[in-house]
Every structure is written in structure tokens, then in C-alpha cells.
Structure 1
Amino acid sequence: MPLPPMPTQVRCPKCQASFVVEVRTLIDVGEEPDLKQQFLRGRVNYAKCPQCGSGGMMSTPIVYHDPDKELLISYLPPELSLSADQRERYVGSLVNAVMNSLPPERRKGYFLQPRTALTLDSLFDAILEADGITKEMLEDQRAKVRLITMLREAAEDEETLSKLVEEHRQELNYEFFLLLSNAIDADEEAGDQEHADALRGLREKLLDRVSPAMPAAAPEDATYQDLIDMLQGVEPGRVWRTTIALNRARLDYGFFQALTSKIEAAEAADDTDTSKALTELRERILEEIEAQNRMARDAQDKASLLIMELSEAENLEAAVREHRDGLNDVFVSLLARYQEIARAQNDVARAEKLGTILETVIDVLDEDLSPDLRLIHKLLLAEFPDGTDAVLEENRGLLNEAFLASYDQYVESVKDREDEKLLEHLKQTRSRIVAKISILRA
């Protein structure tokens, strides 16, 4: 049973108003998986004054537990000035509470050596590193967050903002705008509409000043030469990965045959630079395709196991919520495919059961989708092209470069599956989105 938060009375340091905040000292993501993302977004132990609206994350002792990653980490804010004995007793009581809530077979060796985080940032780092995120990636994201903060503070001063944009133009790339869009979504989910609106206003001002390179799908009538030229101009990184995903169906045997012919022609002409550049391009494309295939196989294996588990669950909704983190797009796509197979085989009972699981999953997922993701979800379910056009018309207020960035982020998230039909649907839908945005701008 999860340890509930403790109602605690606090005083606002700005206006001195008193109010009650729910404070957690134990974050056990094994018992409450949703707490992980809430904590990483700074929404656990977050106090917002109902009087003046100021707020922030409270400085409070925390023990973080993730049984799947075998993480048990304590953080005691230095400003509490606890003695070594007090710290040991406090952490020991929370660790014992976790151990006592588990059956004996789940009490593993890592409980005997809980880790200590000296700062809240180092606790966040430990959690993210266990998910495979490197220190370099974390520092890159922090640099982007610092830049967002700097730009937001200057947003009302047009001259200062323009100067900062010129100084940091190279950093205002596709990845930066994805992070900014994610920050807006996180604020809206947390109910901080004022901050979300401020960031949205900043985003619009930045997009008036810069045009970040965006992943592109080649036109329908593009030749293999056009594809080669386009891919040569894409730098490594997220834009590269998404561009490969968007054009995956076009990267067939004929494409590689054309690319190889160009390499051989360059070698025959003793054009070493061109031959080397094209050979490196071919290797990059093949490596990215293999990486996406590998990720697709791993993701589908995990999704298959989860479908089997949910099929046997006595309380389906509870089981779906328990496995909320595993309900990704690979899972939904595979579940829908299994349902289609069952129908094709006239296995009515299995098709109905899978359909019930699918409906329950969609209901749970829709509860916390941001406006952009809800629109993407509608576009996925719409019949192309008429249904797609109708959905876009109904949601024209959301259609801008920022939504296109969110859409491309979604495409990247599904690029690792071997579902050419889905990727082609996404590519066709993207062309409609771009066309609609162009019409709205005119």
C-alpha cells in the first residue's frame, strides 16, 4: 500500500498567507508509477499560494524508490541542518516503511545500501541515468532550460529579446522548440496556465525571428536524386532520425541502388570527396534503419507480453492504470493489429476481449493528453483524406509551427516500429497539416 502524502500547513514567503500543501517524503514509483514523471517535472511537493499565485517546489526530505531499476535514494536538504544521527534515523524509518510494504521475496540487496543524493538535481540525474540518459544529454537539456528562462525574462523587452536571439541563434534549433513545447504542455497539465501562456507567447515571438530546420518528407514526385540531396543536408541528431522515419518507405532497394551508382561514378571520376561523403551518407542511413528496426523488435516484444498480462487481468481498468508507463503507441498499434487478426480468423470472443482492452487503454490515455497530443490522436483515427481535413478544420486554432514540431516528435517516437502503413499515413497526414498551416498564414 502506498504511503499517502501528509497535509502540511505552510506560509507563503511572498505574501505571508497560510495554506495547506500535501507533502510526500516517500516516492515509491513501484506503488504509484505516475509519481515518477510528476516528480521529475517538479510537481511533487509543489506549493502554490492561493492568495498571490507564487509557488515553487518545497525543500523537504525525500526517499525515492524504483524497484524495477533497483533504485533507493535519499535526499535531505542541507538547510534542515540535521545531525548525522538524525539523518540516519529519518532515512532508516522510510526505508523500513518501503521494505515492510513488500513481500520477503522482493526485498533485495539494494535495500541494505541506499544511495544518498547531495542535491535535488543529483537525485534527478540518478533517476534519469537509470533510464539510459547520459550526463552529456542532461547538461545539454539544462543549457536549453537556462536559455528558455533567459529568453522568457526578456520577452517583454523587444530589443533585448532580439539581441539574445542573435547571440543564441544556433541554439534555437528544432530540439530547443521541442523542449519549449514540452514545457508548455507540462505547465498546462499542472494547471499553471499563466506560466504556460507566457511560454507560448515567447514561442510565437521566437518563431517570428527564427526558422528552425524541421524534419521533412520528400514530395510524392521526388526522385532518388532528390532524396539523396535532401538527406545530405540533414545534420545528425533528432532531425536526422525523424527525417529517416518520415521517408522510410522511400528508402528501398532502388534508392540504395541509385546511391551506390553515384558512389561508383564518383570513384571512377577520381572525385574522392564526393565518393567519401556519399559512402558516409549510405552508412548513416543503414545504421539508423537498423537502429529503428532493433528498437521496433524490442518494443513489440514488451508490448506483446503486456497484452497477454492484461488479457488475464481480473480488474482490467486497474491493471491498465498499473501499467500506464507501458501504454505507448507501439502497444496500441500492436493491440489493434491483434484485434484485426482475430476478426479475420472469425475468433469473435478474442476480438471482443482485445477490443475491450483497447477501449479501456484509450480512455485512460485520453485523460492526460495535452491539446496537441489529443489532436494527433484524432488524426490517427481519422480516415484519410476527408476525415483528416475535417479534423484539421475543427482544430485550426492549434495549427502552427509549434504543433508541427509536436507532430514530428510523435513521428520520431514511432519511427522504431516496422509499420510501413502507419508511417505512410503519418507522412500523408503531415502534408495535409503543412498545407493547412500555409492556407491559414495566407
Structure 2
Amino acid sequence: MPTRKTQTYCPNCRQPIAVEFEQVFDTNQNPEAKNLLLSGQANLLQCPFCKYQGPYSTPLIYHDGQKELLLTFVPPELGLTRDMQEKTIGPLITQVVNALPQEKRKAYLLQPKTMLTYQTLLETILEADGITKEMLQGQQQRMNLIQRLVNTTSDEALTENAKQDDALIDREFFALFSQLLSNAAASGNERLARRMMEVQQRLAEVSSYGKQVMEQQKEVETAVATLRELGDQLTREKLLDLMVDAPNEIRVQAYVSLARGGMDYQFFQLLSERIEHARGPEHARMATLREQLLALTRSFDQRRESQMEQIRQFINAVIESGNIPEVIAQNANAIDELFVGVLEMELDAARKAGNLDRSGKLQQVVDVIEQMSAPAEEMQILNALIEMDDDAARQSLLEQMPPEAIQALAEVLAGVMGQVEASGDAALTQRVEMVYKQVLKYSMRMNLRK
């Protein structure tokens, strides 16, 4: 929905200022509407005189057609009577309804839910995504812990704080920590980014979850190295040997995630034959392994199918958005190998069905992604740095780059770090982290020379 403009007074210095604001946040019209609200970037008032920044209070509605969610909110500080509230909200709801095709106008649109506070509005949106108040409280606790840890002045204090709140230092904690670290680096706050990297490394060493992850990473790295060494010589028989000889369950899980394609009917038939020929304890161990592998592959397939279904829903939202290039650009981080694979399947299915309208839009998505996939100069340099095994060679390349290119490279790396960590590729994560540290140090030295 288009933004509106009005004039108001700065609540801090009382100077008259112009403000742009939105009142309709409809995910059907703008897939980023939810993120805009949740990020706190919606309807921000910025005073050019005293530099004050804060929310601009205005009635608004939020609509998510897929979840059949229609929420209204009128800030209490506006002091509107019930009649005035209805007269203000009514036209906004009409905008939402008129933007929907007739077949999607359902009963929930006649019963919008009134939110008494802005916080309740945000919590209701998140609860529709399965995020409860308890989860939000947990995230706030993790945020507070991160702040305490970063502000500690000694390694002893850091270790003690980590041990006291060991239960909070989990997967969600490290994901949040990595995001905040990327934000600090991207904003140019090198001192904070360097400190956070130190804390992150220490937490990996002293926290229970960190130790577990480091152990898992070692097992994954070993599994990756083993499969790479076999290369084209990897057969079902050799893959089965690796499973049988795996020293622990983590290694087995790593092999399943890395080589699921080879674990087909013939693979399990080979395993069944070995079980038939085994005797005593070995027979029981092999039978247990079969049940374990069946459970792991089933879980892997279920997760993959869930991911593919989410991708299909996202693809449908993209082609219905009316602005495919913009939506793809806004969600570039969601484009990965699995996304491209699902997109190709959807395009093939549309062509076979003779659905020219859908296939045309899907082809447009393909074209936009191909244009975006052309490596930018920063990505070409980053790839070159990652491939280099020698610190001196990387340093030489960095010294040939102008200062603005170093800054651009640091920003690209900040985003890449989060993506690589989420991929679970421990070996690649280690190499990217090594490059990231070297670029960050070089960038800081450049800034000190200014």
C-alpha cells in the first residue's frame, strides 16, 4: 500500500516536521509487510532539527490472508472515541477487502481482531507463526546475556557468567549472536565486532552447547573429508561400510545428511543381506543400525519436504506479488540450491500442464535469479580469498584494493558469514571465518592510518 504524508510536531523539540507513514500492512500486497512491522522500522518519525527518532502514532491494520488474520490497532494516546475509531479503521479494511479477488473474501474479514497495545499486535502476529510469549521472553533473556558477556572485562568473569547461564547458551543463542555480530560488522563498528568474535570463540570453548557443536563440527569435517577422498569411487557398498564403521551417532548423521541420495532401496537391501549373514551381537548391532538409518532418512526426508513446501508457498507469493524483481531482491538470502531445484520443478510442471500464465511468471523468476547470480566484483574477490591457503597471498591481494573496496568486501563478508554458518558446512565456515578475521584486521589498520 502507498505511504501517506502529513505534517506534525517533533515530540522532543516541538518543531514542525514532515512524516511519511503507512496504515495498511497487507502481506498479500507486500510480502515484506510483516518484517517491516516486526523490525520496528515502520512509521518512524525522524526530526531533522534535534535528530530525534521514534514511532509515529497512527491507526493501522495488519492482514495475512494465508493465516486468515486481520488485526486492527488504534494508539490509545490519540484519544479517539469508539465512533471515530470505527470511521478511521473502516476505510482501511475496505482497502484490504477490495484488493482481494472475490473467492478469497472469507468470513474472517468481517470479524477483525482489535489490539489494545502495539506490543499485543506484534505478539499476535508472531503467535500466528508459532512464536509464543515464552519464546519472546527467552530471546530477551538471551539478548541480555549477550550484552553482559560482551561487556565483561576479564576472561574469568566471562567464563563465570557463561557457566551460570549455560542453559541459555543454545542454538538460538548462537544464531542470535551471529546475527548481531554481522550487524555490528556491517555498520562499521569494528571494535564491537572484534570483541564479539572473541566472546563467540570463548563461548564455543566453555559452554556445554558450544563444546557439543565443536565435537559435531569435527565429526562433520571428518565425514566430508572421507567422502571427498572417495569421490567417484563411492559406491553403495563403500557407503554402507562407512555407516557400519562409524565411531558414533554424530558421524552416522553426518553421512546421512551428506549422502542421502545414495541411501536408496538397493542400499537398504545390501544392509538387510548383511544382517541375515551376521550372528550374535553383530546381528543385533546391524539390525539396530538399520532402524537408526531408517529413522534418520525418514526425518531427513520430512524436513526436506517441509522445506520444499515452504519454498513452493514463497514462490507462489512471489509470482502473485506483481513485482517479481523487487520481491526476489528483498529475499535474496532465501535463494539457495534447494530453492532453484524446486523452482525448476514448478516451472516444468506448469509447462507440462499448459499453464502459460504461471510458466511465464516462473520463467521471469528464473531470469531474475540468473541476473542476480552473476558474481559481483566483491564476490569474485571473496571467492579468490577463500581459495587461497596462504595468509601472505591474501594480504597481498587486500593491499592492492582501494579503501572503499575493502569496506564493501567487509560488508559482503558480514552477510556471507551468517549464510555459511547456517549451511552447516563446518570446513567452509572455518575458511570464511579465517578470511573474515583477516579482512576485519586489515580494515581496522586502514582506519587507524586515517
TM over 0.5, shorter chain: yes
Judge conservation of contact 1:46–1:57 (CA < 8 Å) in 2: yes
Q: Could you tell me which of 88, 91, 109 is aligned with 1:90?
A: 88
Shift of 1:407: 1.1
The CA deviation string for residues 347-405 of structure 1, in whole angstroms up to 9 with x for no partner, is xxxx9998875342355699xx9x9xx95x998xx7xxx89616996799689999655
CA distance in 2, matches of 1:107, 1:204: 50
Is 1:172 the counterpart of 2:193 in the alignment?
no
CA distance in 2, matches of 1:90, 1:134: 30
Judge conservation of contact 1:9–1:20 (CA < 8 Å) in 2: yes
Judge conservation of contact 1:27–1:63 (CA < 8 Å) in 2: yes
User: Which residue is equivalent to 2:69?
Assistant: 71
Number of paired residues?
A: 382
The CA deviation string for residues 298-318 of structure 1, in whole angstroms up to 9 with x for no partner, is 3575588789x69xxxxx993
Normalized against structure 2, the TM-score is what?
0.62
Shift of 1:72: 1.2
User: Which residue is equivalent to 1:4?
Assistant: 3
Judge conservation of contact 1:174–1:405 (CA < 8 Å) in 2: no
User: Which residue is equivalent to 2:296?
Assistant: 285
The CA deviation string for residues 84-142 of structure 1, in whole angstroms up to 9 with x for no partner, is 333333322322333345565554322211012233333223323434x242xx63354
* Structure 2: 5+ residue stretches without partners: 205-209, 228-241, 349-358, 398-405, 439-450
CA distance in 2, matches of 1:263, 1:54: 72
Q: Could you tell me which of 125, 130, 142 is aligned with 1:147?
A: 142
The residue type paired with residue 167 of structure 1 is Q
CA distance in 2, matches of 1:109, 1:181: 42
% identity of equivalent residues? 22
Shift of 1:20: 3.8
The residue type paired with residue 427 of structure 2 is S
User: Which residue is equivalent to 1:360?
Assistant: 368
Query: Which moved further from structure 2: 45-54 or 20-29?
Result: 45-54
The residue type paired with residue 204 of structure 1 is M
The CA deviation string for residues 288-332 of structure 1, in whole angstroms up to 9 with x for no partner, is 22213423553575588789x69xxxxx99344367669743443
1:248-267 maps to which residues of 2 (within 5 A)?
248=260
CA distance in 1, matches of 2:141, 2:17: 30
The DSSP-based 3-state class of the residue aligned with 2:62 is strand
Shift of 1:73: 0.3
1:20-169 maps to which residues of 2 (within 5 A)?
20-48=18-46, 55-102=53-100, 106-131=104-129, 133-135=130-132, 139-152=134-147, 155-159=150-154, 163-169=160-166
The DSSP-based 3-state class of the residue aligned with 1:123 is helix
CA distance in 2, matches of 1:255, 1:230: 19
Judge conservation of contact 2:25–2:62 (CA < 8 Å) in 1: yes
Judge conservation of contact 2:183–2:414 (CA < 8 Å) in 1: no
CA distance in 1, matches of 2:411, 2:32: 27
The residue type paired with residue 421 of structure 2 is D
The CA deviation string for residues 256-288 of structure 1, in whole angstroms up to 9 with x for no partner, is 68998999999944999x899968854641332
The residue type paired with residue 42 of structure 2 is V
Judge conservation of contact 2:181–2:197 (CA < 8 Å) in 1: no
1:154-233 maps to which residues of 2 (within 5 A)?
155-159=150-154, 163-183=160-180, 193=187, 200-201=193-194, 203-211=196-204, 212=210, 213=213, 216=217, 217=220, 218-221=223-226, 223-225=242-244, 227=246, 229-231=248-250
Q: Whose RCO is larger (CA < 8 A, sep 6+)?
A: 1
1:250-329 maps to which residues of 2 (within 5 A)?
268-269=280-281, 281-282=292-293, 284-295=295-306, 298=309, 318-321=323-326, 328-329=335-336
| Aligned-pair Cα RMSD in Å | 5.4
The CA deviation string for residues 401-440 of structure 1, in whole angstroms up to 9 with x for no partner, is 996553132x37xxxxxxxxxxxxxx5xx53553565688
Judge conservation of contact 2:308–2:339 (CA < 8 Å) in 1: no
Judge conservation of contact 2:185–2:193 (CA < 8 Å) in 1: no
The structure in which a higher percent of residues are helix is: 2
Judge conservation of contact 2:17–2:47 (CA < 8 Å) in 1: yes
CA distance in 1, matches of 2:48, 2:148: 23
